[in-house]
């Protein structure tokens, strides 16, 4: 069984969407991936995940490591005061937000997402965490699409942040 399947032309023509739902429904594979992602960064206080699929891995890692979870959401979804960051996607523009008090200067944060494509979402998440005063230790992805060069974009903007991917395509 292929645990990450490619879906052509989703969400729009020309995009090869990486569908992780088969991996998520396989308990053994999901546990293995979460364990592997958890072990990448040795020291962190909480785990931040981007809406929506990043929530799945970040909250599982937070639970497994007995750490807090910080949701980074799409615009207008958080009920309290927020910081906002606009970013570019492979197929458009969007905005992410985080609560102003989600974390602070004393905290080390592991950022987790499902796919590293162009790097826009990751850079926005990093800037949001930095606005709270917290320190990013690592950013971890399940899957990296190398041809889209997102890693280089993140490294140019944030050369001090360690970037890890479980699988590359």
What is the distance between the alpha carbons of residues 141 and 111, in angstroms, rounded to a whole number? 9
Q: What is the DSSP string of 116-128?
A: ESSSHHHHHHHHH
Catalytic residue, from 73, 85, 90, 127: name it: 90
Catalytic residue, from 2, 5, 51, 53: name it: 53
Active site (annotated) includes residue 90 = yes
What is the distance between the alpha carbons of residues 80 and 88, in angstroms, rounded to a whole number? 25
CA torsion, ordered 52, 145, 96, 134, to nearest 10 deg: 100
Token pair in block for residue 11: 């969400």
Task: Tell me the CA distances in angstroms from 155 to 3, 85, 119, 149, 158, one per residue in order.
Answer: 29, 18, 10, 10, 5
Active site (annotated) includes residue 144 = no
Task: Tell me the CA distances in angstroms from 110 to 30, 32, 134, 160, one per residue in order.
Answer: 19, 18, 10, 14
Active site residues: 53, 90
């Amino acid at each position: 069984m292929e645990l990450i399947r490619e879906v052509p032309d989703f969400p729009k023509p020309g995009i090869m969407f990486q569908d992780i739902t088969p991996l998520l429904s396989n308990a053994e594979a999901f546990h293995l991936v979460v364990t592997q992602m958890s072990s990448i960064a040795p020291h962190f206080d909480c785990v931040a995940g981007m809406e929506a699929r990043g929530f799945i891995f970040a909250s599982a890692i937070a639970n497994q490591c007995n750490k807090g979870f910080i949701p980074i959401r799409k615009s207008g979804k958080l009920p309290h005061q927020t910081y906002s960051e606009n970013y570019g996607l492979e197929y458009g523009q969007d905005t992410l937000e985080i609560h102003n008090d989600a974390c602070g200067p004393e905290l080390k944060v592991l950022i987790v997402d499902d796919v590293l494509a162009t790097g826009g979402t990751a850079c926005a998440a990093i800037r949001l965490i930095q606005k709270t005063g917290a320190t990013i230790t690592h950013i971890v992805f399940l899957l990296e699409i190398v041809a889209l060069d997102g890693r280089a974009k993140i490294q140019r903007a944030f050369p001090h942040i360690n970037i890890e991917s479980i699988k590359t395509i």
